[in-house]
Amino acid sequence: MKKVLIISYFLPPDPAIGGLRIHGLAEYLPEFGWEPIILTKNLHSLPTANYRIVKTPFYEHNSVSSFKQNFFLNSNISYTKSLGLNNSISNKSLKSKGISAIFNFITSIVAYPDSEKEWYEYAVKYGSNVLENEKIDLVISSSHPVTCHIIANSIKKKYKIPWIADLRDLWTQNHYYSYNFIRKFFERRFEVKTLSNANALTTVSEHLAGTLLKVHQHKTIYSITNGFDPQYLNNGNVLTKKFTISYTGVLYKGKRDPSKLFKALRELIDEKKLNPSNIEVRFYGPKEEWLNEEIIKNGLQSIVKDYGLVSRETALKIQKESHILLLLLWDHPEEAGVYTGKLFDYLAAQRPILAIGTTKGVVSELLHETDVGDYTTSVEDIKISIEKYYNEYLTQGYVSYNGRAEKVDQYSQREMAKKFAKLMDKFVEH
């Protein structure tokens, strides 16, 4: 069996899609002739895994956190909050913004190319030790952080081993890139130089592959989508008695929030198309004060409940017992090429999905291809979907799941691993 060294900063139980992507990849690669070895940071606890994990002695010695601590600032909150300043519209807010801008500029230097850069020397040392003691056929690095690619580049140069750079999150082309144009100019050059040594680049969608190609014009770029873990497929969980719409995850006001949903619910109730006594909309995630304000504003206190944060295991159970799963997408045009990690959990739950977004893209295409739910962009669209599902609930006591199994299976982690293995085989002599 061939061996692959996978460099990833994240693994479960880290709450990051990157960790789940790598965990799933490593879990199913052996079925396709590859033995994975994961090189990662020192974890507080290890995932339940059937693959080898090589931990470095380094644990989250974040360069930005270290910088803040040197100035006796709280490393877990923003600069303005650490300095006791506020963001109200006043002279004081202008002062706070100025101070914050200075610190952010310094951070852009301290955290170049990212805040986990100090992991580099540990990872190269432990990665080299693996290659010195056994035959490794290929290396995969997965970002973020981009330090993973820098580590892989050093190993590639030293051992002349094939390398695939997996950019599940883009580097300087990431639409959430927050640094100024000066840093971006130099970092873009560094990105091109670093990734020029990779045998191939991979990312999670055709849309993002096209974005990468604009900068890495002479590289071969492949799209390999994230997936759900087949082990978590819904095996017939009992649904709730009430008509439930559930959301599990983080909310962001104005970017990923349920305001359109609330307006649609309010109108449906006022039009006597929904009975508030047999419907419940449930939110599970970090509590947000503005969410409660929105609930009160729309007069939905009797049906919308914020249950707060729950464990991943509990969240998966909640998804499987719900009639409808709510998927809220970011209000940004570049999100057209991004699959949210929650989408794959929802696919495993095998319950109808109500997605609310603005720009149609890979998510709307997936929903259409698999028939697992509706993609909506307006209050009227949301009303139509909810009324459809609710009437089905009234007729038969539950909402049917009509996903096309053969299409849904194409988004499993097993399929993802199969595609990676096929690509990896291209670079290894038999």
Task: Give residue-wise pLDDT tens across range 300-335.
Answer: 999 999 999 998 889 999 999 999 999 998 877 667
**Lowest-confidence segment of 76-80, 142-146, 149-153, 371-375 by average pLDDT:** 76-80
Q: What count of Cα atoms within 13 Å lies in the side-chain half-sphere of residue 105?
A: 8
pLDDT of residue 140: 97
Cα–Cα distance, 294 to 301 (Å, whole number): 10
141 phi, psi to nearest 5 deg? -115, 140
For the residues 406-424, what does the mean pLDDT come to? 96
Q: Cβ(93)–Cβ(87) under 8 Å?
A: yes
pLDDT of residue 259: 93
CATH for 230-411, options being 3.20.20.150, 3.40.50.2000, 3.30.70.60, 3.40.50.720: 3.40.50.2000
pLDDT in tens, 85-121: 444 444 445 555 555 566 666 766 777 778 788 889 9
Q: Where in the chain is the domain with CATH 3.40.50.2000?
A: 2-60+116-227+413-425, 230-411
pLDDT of residue 374: 96
% of the chain surpassing 90 pLDDT: 64
pLDDT of residue 16: 52
For the residues 36-56, what does the mean pLDDT come to? 82
Question: Strand 200-203's sheet: what is its strand order?
Answer: 52-55, 34-40, 2-7, 138-143, 163-167, 200-203, 221-223
Q: How confident is the model at residue 62 (pLDDT cuts 50, 70, 90)?
A: low
pLDDT of residue 330: 80
pLDDT of residue 92: 47
More confident residue, 323 or 231: 323
pLDDT of residue 177: 74
What number of residues does the chain have?
430
DSSP for residue 215: T
pLDDT in tens, 343-370: 999 999 999 999 998 878 899 999 999 9
H or E segment to which residue 327 belongs: strand 324-328
Report the number of secondary-structure helices (H) and strands (E) in the chain: 16, 13
CA 141 vs CA 39, 53, 167, 298, 375: distances in Å = 9, 14, 8, 47, 33
Nearest to 64 by CA among 119, 96, 109: 109
Q: CA dihedral defined by 147, 148, 151, 155, rounded to 10 degrees?
A: -160
Mean residue pLDDT of the chain comes to: 86
**Lowest-confidence segment of 5-9, 24-28, 90-94, 305-309 by average pLDDT:** 90-94
Say if residue 126's pLDDT is above 80.
Answer: yes
What the block records as the tokens of 59 is 């644990």
Q: How confident is the model at residue 61 (pLDDT cuts 50, 70, 90)?
A: low
pTM for the complete prediction?
0.84
Say if residue 39's pLDDT is above 60.
Answer: yes
Cα–Cα distance, 415 to 241 (Å, whole number): 35
Question: Which are the contacts of 348, defined by CB distance < 8 A and separation ≥ 6?
Answer: 228, 229, 230, 232, 233, 234, 316
pLDDT of residue 79: 46
% of the chain surpassing 70 pLDDT: 84
**Alpha carbon of residue 274 to chain centroid:** 34
pLDDT in tens, 152-197: 999 999 999 999 999 998 999 987 777 788 889 999 999 999 999 9
More confident residue, 218 or 418: 418
**Lowest-confidence segment of 21-25, 279-283, 315-319, 411-415 by average pLDDT:** 21-25
Percent helix, strand, coil in the chain, to 5, is 45, 15, 40
CATH topology of domain 2-60+116-227+413-425: Rossmann fold (3.40.50)
pLDDT of residue 14: 57
